[in-house]
Structures are given as structure tokens and as C-alpha cells.
Amino acid sequence: MADVSPPKGSGPLARLEARLAWGLLAPTICAVALVVILPLLAIFWISAKPVSLADLRAPEVVIREDLRGDYEAVGDSANIRYRLRNSSQDQPIRGVTLTDTIPAGLEVSSLDQRCTVDGRELFCDLGDWDGGFRENLMIPVTVGQAYLDGGTRPQDNGVTTTGRASSVLTNATFTFENFKRVFDGEEFWSVLWVTLFYTVFGTIGALLFGLFAALLLNKSFRGQGILRGLYLFPYVSPVIAVAFAWVLLFDPFSGSANALLIQMGVTQEAINFFGQRPLALIMVTLFEIWRYFPLSFLFILARMQSIDSDMYEAADMDGASPFQKFWYLSVPQLLGILSVLFLLRFIWTFNKFDDIFLLTGGNAGTRTLTVNVYEQAFAVSNIGAGAAVAVVIFGCLLLFSFFFFRFMSQEEGL
């Protein structure tokens, strides 16, 4: 009797399909690996390195060459001068050598003992240099007619130098200093608190505003399309443009908002909205809500329009009041999209950098974790510490996405 059980494993067609799939995905995987995975690994590496902004360029030999002395006639003696310097103040360079071509018409008269001349080729072995090393190397020469006839000057042909310098990025020095710096002291906890406040209130605010706006537009009337387009403006316009518009609007000296408040008698003197402590944090959170409510609004509106209207008709028959319909029908129907949006927006708000950076630059108690990365790496010039903060952010992100995927598997609302 023939075997009638289903085939096991993958057949040739399935293998072909899988091969094609990987082939189609390969470019994306390569690109993402290069620009996302590699930098992520690099961040972990750098976070354990004592590296500052100045260390990014490996130490190198800096050289200037010229001809010194009187050299008007044949037989005059002069010096080819090489001014040599280690570009780094503290990193050594090992095995420095120098190779140059002596121009025609210049005869080397005596030679530094580290150098040799082969034909017109000058070669010097300059040994190891400490950080901050500098030297003037003189090669005495006698001037010949060929040089005076307009031969090339010494500095006209290039000098090649070699030397091995270990960059702090690639050597084997590791340190926990960066993480210690990050977690030490009051600052970290205040940064974390600011981040949480910004993230939680920014997310909830954007969701509530989005829900309100979606309720407003969940009916068809003339001009609905225009209003919907209008309400998306904050989201689609460049962040830098709207952030500066806000800064200008709330400027303490020439801002319209202050002028308006003073005129209406709400306040006596101008308020520095983005410059004083609890207010600045509230303002950047409001900006976040303002900028991202359109996104929640779009998603919620899309979900609302897919709710069956039968249910509302049934509720009408049963005599439910408008608020009851909202609370007992709409809200449960929207709960799925609301919670997915909450998780997504929570993660993205947590990751937000540009908004706060442009509004306050992280001053006046608005420094979140992401702004702290920039602050440490570029303002304090401590790349290692910045990377350590980035690692902390990445850790938080993994934690959030764990919850996100646990939740998403039940709630494929998006």
C-alpha cells in the first residue's frame, strides 16, 4: 500500500519560495544591519570607553616643510626644515617614519643620524612619539644651479609619513566610568522623572485630544474634509518650523501670548514660558500633545467609522441617552485602538528628541533621557557618557516593546 501521509519537511517549491523571499529581503536586511544593528552594537562598545569628542580623530603626524637660509648663489648652504608635531596632546604615536624626495639641485651636505638618503629619496626613522611631542628636523643642503634655475621647492612635493597610533575607540581600554557618571547623583533621577512626566502626560493628553477631535469629525458635513486636513497641520509641518513658531509666540519679551495675557489682565508681568522651572516642562508637554493629537485623531476616527451603526440604532430603540451610548458602546469599541495607540505613542514620546531640543534645549528642568544623550555627548563632549545614556534608553525600549508585543499578540488592532 502506498504511503498516503502528508509530505514532511519542505518540498522543492517551498524551498524555492523561501529562497526568493530571502533574496527579496536581502537588500533591506543588509541596509538595516549596516545603519541600525551596527550602530546599536557600536553604542554598547562606546558606552564602555573613556572617549571624548576630541578623541574621535586618531592622533596623527602633522608636518610642515620649508627651505631656510640664504640661497641666492650656487654653493650657498641652506636647511630643509621639517616642523613635526603629534596632533594629540596625550596619545602616543609609534614607529613614525618620514619619506621625501629632495628636489633636484639640492645636495645633502650632512645628515641627521636617523635619516638615510638613497639617490634623491630621503628616509628618516623617527621612532616613538609621546603625546604633545614636537620637533624641528633640519637637513642641511648645498644649493646647486639646477635649483636656482627654478627647480621645485622642497615643500612642493609631498612628504609621506607613517606611524601607528591607537585610537581609544579601537584599543582594549574599558571603563565603567560612563555608567557611574550617568547613574551618579541627583541628576539621573531628575532626568528620569522629567522623562516619565513628559511621556505619560504627553501620551495621555494626545490621546484625549485625539479622541475629542475624532468625536467632532465623526459625522459628515460640508467642510469636514477641510477641517480634517487643518487638524493634521501640526503633525505634517516640519518640527523645526512649528517649534520656533511656539518659541516666538511665547517669548517673554516680544511674544504675542504674553501680550495677550497682560492685556486680558490674567497676569501683571510677562511670563517666561520656556524658561522657568515647572512651567517649561508643562509647555513642552503641551507642545507634544499639540503636535501629536492629529495622529491619534486619525487612528481613532478610522476605527470609529468602522463601528457598526446597527448597535447605535439598537441602543436608540432601548432609549439610551447620548452619553450612555458614548460610554457603553463607543468607549468599549475604541478601547482596543486606544490601548495600542497608548503603547505606541508612549514608546515614541519616550524616544522624542527634536521637540524639546528645539524648544528649550533641555534647560529649565526639561532634560529628558534623549536630550541627555546629546547634552553629554556634545555639550559636555563626553561621547562615552552619551553612549551610556543611549544604552539606558535602549534598555527601557526593550522593556516597553516586551509589553507591547505581549499586548499586540492579543490585540491586532493595527
Partner 1 sequence: MKQLRYGYVTGPALGILWTFVIALTVAIAMSFATGSAFRPSILGALVWGGVLGILCLPGSKWLPVLGTLVVAGVSLVGLGPIAIGSQIWPVSALIAALATAGFAALGLRIILADVTLGAINRHVFEAAVIRFLTGFGYIFFSAIVLIPFYVMVLTSLKNQAELIQNPLDFSVDLSKGWELFRSYDELFTQFNFGTYLLNSFVISVLTVVITLLFAVPGAYAVARLRFRGRAAFSRSILLIYMVPMIVLALPIYIAFSMFGLRNSLGGIIMIYPVTTIPVALYMLQGYFRGLPAEVEEAGLMDGLSRLKVIWKITLPLSLPAMASVSLYVFMIAWNEFLLAFMLLDDPSKFTLTRGIASLNSSEIPRQHLMAGSVIATVPIMVLFLGLERFMTKGLTAGSVKG
Tell which positions 325-364 bind partner 1, by CB under 8 A. Answer: 340, 344-345, 347-348, 350-354, 357-358
The region of 111-119, 129-137, 139-147, 379-387 touching partner 1 under the rule CB under 8 A is 379-387
- Residue among 26 and 74 whose Cβ is closer to partner 1: 26
Q: Does residue number 255 form part of the binding site for partner 1 (CB under 8 A)?
A: yes
Separation between Cα atoms, residue 86 and residue 59, nearest integer Å: 7
**In sequence order, which residues have a C-beta less than 8 Å from that of residue 206 and are 6 or more positions away?**
288, 289, 292, 293, 295, 296, 345, 349
The region of 84-92, 140-148, 150-158, 208-216 touching partner 1 under the rule CB under 8 A is 208-216
Per CB under 8 A, which of residues 309..328 are in contact with partner 1?
321-323
Q: Does residue number 374 form part of the binding site for partner 1 (CB under 8 A)?
A: yes
Residue 304, number of CB atoms within 10 A of its CB: 18
- Residue among 67 and 343 whose Cβ is closer to partner 1: 343
Residues 273-292, one symbol each (x = binds partner 1 by CB under 8 A, - = not), give -----------------xxx
185: left (phi over 0), alpha (psi -120 to 50) or beta: left
Q: Does residue number 20 form part of the binding site for partner 1 (CB under 8 A)?
A: yes
Residue type, 84: L
Per CB under 8 A, which of residues 96..115 are in contact with partner 1?
none
Sign of CA dihedral 401, 411, 202, 226: positive
- Residue among 106 and 383 whose Cβ is closer to partner 1: 383
- Residue among 141 and 295 whose Cβ is closer to partner 1: 295
Minimum distance from CB of 95 to partner 1 (Å)? Answer: 21
- Residue among 153 and 228 whose Cβ is closer to partner 1: 228
Separation between Cα atoms, residue 87 and residue 163, nearest integer Å: 12
Yes or no: say if 274 and 364 are a contact pair by the CB < 8 Å rule: yes
Sign of CA dihedral 103, 109, 115, 119: positive
**Cell (9 digits) for 312:** 447605535
**In sequence order, which residues have a C-beta less than 8 Å from that of residue 307 and are 6 or more positions away?**
329, 330, 333
Q: Does residue number 146 form part of the binding site for partner 1 (CB under 8 A)?
A: no
Yes or no: say if 121 and 101 are a contact pair by the CB < 8 Å rule: yes
- Residue among 79 and 258 whose Cβ is closer to partner 1: 258
Q: Does residue number 267 form part of the binding site for partner 1 (CB under 8 A)?
A: no
Q: Which of 1, 2, 4, 24 binds partner 1 (CB under 8 A)?
A: 24
- Residue among 36 and 74 whose Cβ is closer to partner 1: 36
- Tell the residue number behind the cell numbers 539606558, with chain if given: 392
Q: Which of 6, 12, 27, 150 binds partner 1 (CB under 8 A)?
A: 27
**Cell (9 digits) for 208:** 484625549
Yes or no: say if 227 and 279 are a contact pair by the CB < 8 Å rule: no
Describe the strand order of the beta sheet including 134-143 as a list of residue ranges.
61-68, 77-86, 134-143, 106-108
Q: Does residue number 196 form part of the binding site for partner 1 (CB under 8 A)?
A: no
Chain centroid, CA 300 distance in Å: 31
Determine the size of the site formed for partner 1 (CB under 8 A): 99
Per CB under 8 A, which of residues 212..231 are in contact with partner 1?
212-213, 215-216, 225, 227-231
Yes or no: say if 53 and 378 are a contact pair by the CB < 8 Å rule: yes
Q: Which helix (H) or strand (E) holds 263?
A: helix 256-263
Minimum distance from CB of 5 to partner 1 (Å)? Answer: 21
Q: Which of 124, 143, 242, 364 binds partner 1 (CB under 8 A)?
A: 242
SS3 281: helix
Yes or no: say if 144 and 73 are a contact pair by the CB < 8 Å rule: no
Per CB under 8 A, which of residues 389..408 are in contact with partner 1?
390, 393-394, 397, 400-401, 404-405
Minimum distance from CB of 12 to partner 1 (Å)? Answer: 14
- 89-108 b/e with 16+ CB inside 10 Å = b? eebbbeebebebbbbebbeb
Yes or no: say if 316 and 387 are a contact pair by the CB < 8 Å rule: no
Q: Does residue number 31 form part of the binding site for partner 1 (CB under 8 A)?
A: yes
Q: Which of 106, 299, 366, 382 binds partner 1 (CB under 8 A)?
A: 299
The region of 93-101, 132-140, 158-166, 371-379 touching partner 1 under the rule CB under 8 A is 371-379
Minimum distance from CB of 248 to partner 1 (Å)? Answer: 6
- Residue among 79 and 330 whose Cβ is closer to partner 1: 330
Minimum distance from CB of 85 to partner 1 (Å)? Answer: 21
Q: Which of 146, 192, 232, 282 binds partner 1 (CB under 8 A)?
A: 232
Residue 314, number of CB atoms within 10 A of its CB: 12
- Tell the residue number behind the cell numbers 639640492, with chain if given: 106
